[in-house]
Chain A
Amino acid sequence: MDPYPSSSALIAQKTWELENNVITVDTPPTSTNSTADASSDAIFYYDETAQAKFQQDRPWVNDPHYFRRVKISALALLKMVVHARSGGTIEVMGLMQGKTDGDAIIVMDAFALPVEGTETRVNAQADAYEYMVDYSQTNKQAGRLENVVGWYHSHPGYGCWLSGIDVSTQMLNQQFQEPFLAVVIDPTRTVSAGKVEIGAFRTYPEGYKPPDETVSEYQTIPLNKIEDFGVHCKQYYALDITYFKSSLDCHLLGLLWNKYWVNTLSSSPLLGNGDYVAGQISDLADKLEQAENQLAHSRFGLLIAPPQRKKEEESQLAKITRDSAKITVEQVHGLMSQVIKDILFNSIRRSSRLCTESSGPEPMVES
Chain B
Amino acid sequence: MSSSSSSGLTFKLHPLVIVNISDHYTRVKSQMNPPVTSTATTSSSSTTTNNSNGSGDGGVTAVSAAAPPPRVYGCVIGVQRGRIVEIFNSFELLYDPVTHSLDRAFLEKKQELYKKVFPHFYILGWYSTGSDAEEFDMHIHKALMDINESPVYVLLNPLINPAQKDLPVTIYESELHVIDGIPQLIFVRSSYTIETVEAERISVDHVAHLKPSDGGSAATQLAAHLTSIHSAIKMLNSRIRVLHHYLVAMQKGEIPCENSLLRQVSSLLRRLPAIESEKFQDDFLMEYNDTLLITYLAMFTNCSSTMNELVDKFNTAYDRHSRRGGRTAFI
Q: Evaluate contact between A314 and B309: CB separation under 8 angstroms.
A: yes
Q: Evaluate contact between A135 and B113: CB separation under 8 angstroms.
A: yes
B151 within 8 A of A: no
Tell me the B91-109 residues at the A interface (CB within 8 Å).
91-94, 106, 109
B84 within 8 A of A: no
Quick one: closest B residue to A43, CB to CB?
A: B30
B38 within 8 A of A: yes
CB distance from A38 to the nearest CB of B (A): 5
B41 contacts which chain A residues (CB < 8 A)? 49
Q: Evaluate contact between A363 and B285: CB separation under 8 angstroms.
A: yes
A276 contacts which chain B residues (CB < 8 A)? none
Q: State the CA gap A349–B229 with chains docked (Å).
A: 23
A303 contacts which chain B residues (CB < 8 A)? 324
| Stretch in contact with the other chain, from B138-146, B180-188, B233-241, B252-260 | B233-241
Q: Evaluate contact between A344 and B233: CB separation under 8 angstroms.
A: yes
Of the candidates A138, A190, A246, A272, the one whose C-beta lies within 8 Å of that of B109 is A138
Q: Evaluate contact between B199 and A264: CB separation under 8 angstroms.
A: no
Given that A3-B241, A3-B242 are contacting pairs, would A44 and B30 also be in contact in the complex, using a CB cutoff of 8 Å? yes
B273 within 8 A of A: yes
A355 contacts which chain B residues (CB < 8 A)? none
Q: State the CA gap A256–B6 with chains docked (Å).
A: 26
B48 contacts which chain A residues (CB < 8 A)? 143
Q: Evaluate contact between B23 and A141: CB separation under 8 angstroms.
A: no
Quick one: closest A residue to B156, CB to CB?
A: A252
A124 within 8 A of B: no
Give 24 A-B contacts (CB < 8 Å), ordered by A residue.
A5-B234, A13-B209, A16-B212, A19-B212, A41-B26, A74-B23, A82-B199, A113-B117, A138-B110, A142-B106, A190-B202, A191-B198, A248-B26, A248-B160, A253-B204, A253-B207, A253-B209, A258-B166, A270-B291, A333-B225, A334-B291, A336-B225, A349-B276, A366-B281
**CB within 8 Å of A: which residues of B?**
15-16, 18-20, 22-31, 33-39, 41-42, 47-50, 62-63, 65, 91-94, 106, 109-110, 113, 116-118, 158, 160, 162, 164-168, 193-215, 218, 221-222, 224-229, 231-238, 241-242, 272-276, 281, 284-285, 287-289, 291-292, 294-295, 297-298, 301-302, 304-305, 308-309, 312, 315-316, 324, 327, 329
